[in-house]
Amino acid sequence: MPGTLFIVSAPSGTGKSTILQRLLQVLPGVAFSVSHTTRAPRPAEQNGVHYHFVGRDEFAAVRDRGGFLEWAVVHGNFYGTSREAVGGQLARGTDLILDIDVQGTRQVRGQGEWPVVTVFVAPPSWEELERRLTGRKTDGEATIRLRLENARREMAAASEYDYLVVNDDLEEAIETLRAVIIAERSRHRRSLAGRPLALPAAAP
């Protein structure tokens, strides 16, 4: 049985990375898809763990040979999801989380190559989003402005997603996302794949 593809999107600064990092520690059987990006690494980020950090030429080469399941320009940098990595992990039965933006979500959904479950994570307010972007201390003033502008566009697409998680209380947000994944795993079409439910015989 192939794994399920979960897509999680959020305006930058909402806390999506924090939620996903914690979720992966408490939920077995789910992996994180490591994207390619031309953005410069932040101090705590490791190549191959948070992203595959590549130059624009390398990104273009992978894109031009059809190596990305989806790709987009986000906040002025290129981001893409490796088609091979996604296909391989799903085929092995691992559930996979794609942390991608609204443009990428539309591409993957539109291709219909795999069924997807989409989750939008929203901040509790605009003021709190700005506070979190500033408080993270990883981006300059101009980058923060750009990310806040883009957040308005991302928020407008929230209703396209299957689930909405508001990241007000962190623990509650992690628990809600965990519940979504566990519930999706119990869907009839995934757990039985069309087979009738056969119960083992009762013990004498």
Q: Could you list the residues that contact ligand 5GP (CB under 6 A)?
A: 9, 12, 35, 39, 70, 72, 74-75, 79-81, 99-101, 103-104
Identified binder of ligand ADP from the candidate list 170, 179, 182, 183, rule CB under 6 A: 170
How near is the Cβ of 39 to ligand ADP at its closest, in Å?
A: 12
Instruction: By CB under 6 A, tell whether 122 contacts ligand ADP.
Output: no
Provide CB contacts within 8 A for 55, sequence distance 6+: 38
Q: Which long-range contacts link 162-166 to residues 24+ away (Cβ below 8 Å)?
A: 162/117, 162/118, 162/119, 163/117, 163/118, 163/119, 163/120, 164/119, 164/120, 164/122, 165/19, 165/119, 165/120, 165/121, 165/122, 166/121, 166/122, 166/123, 166/124
Which CB, 100 or 174, lies closer to ligand 5GP?
100
How near is the Cβ of 29 to ligand 5GP at its closest, in Å?
A: 22
Which CB, 12 or 105, lies closer to ligand ADP?
12
Identified binder of ligand ADP from the candidate list 10, 96, 165, 177, rule CB under 6 A: 10
Q: Which does 104 bind (CB under 5 to 8 A by kind): ligand 5GP, ligand ADP, none?
A: ligand 5GP
**Dihedral in degrees, nearest 10, Cα atoms 46, 50, 55, 56:** -170
How near is the Cβ of 14 to ligand ADP at its closest, in Å?
A: 4
Distance, in Å, from the CA atom of 86 to the CA atom of 94, rounded to the nearest integer, reads: 10
Provide CB contacts within 8 A for 186, sequence distance 6+: none
Residue 12 phi, psi (nearest 5): -55, 135
Instruction: By CB under 6 A, tell whether 104 contacts ligand ADP.
Output: no
Which CB, 93 or 135, lies closer to ligand ADP?
135
Instruction: By CB under 6 A, tell whether 96 contacts ligand ADP.
Output: no
Instruction: By CB under 6 A, tell whether 50 contacts ligand ADP.
Output: no
From 14-22, 49-57, 154-162, 187-195, span contacting ligand ADP (CB under 6 A) = 14-22
Calculate ∠ Cα 133-129-177, nearest 5°: 105
Q: Give the binding site for ligand ADP (CB under 6 A).
A: 10, 12-18, 132, 135-136, 167, 170
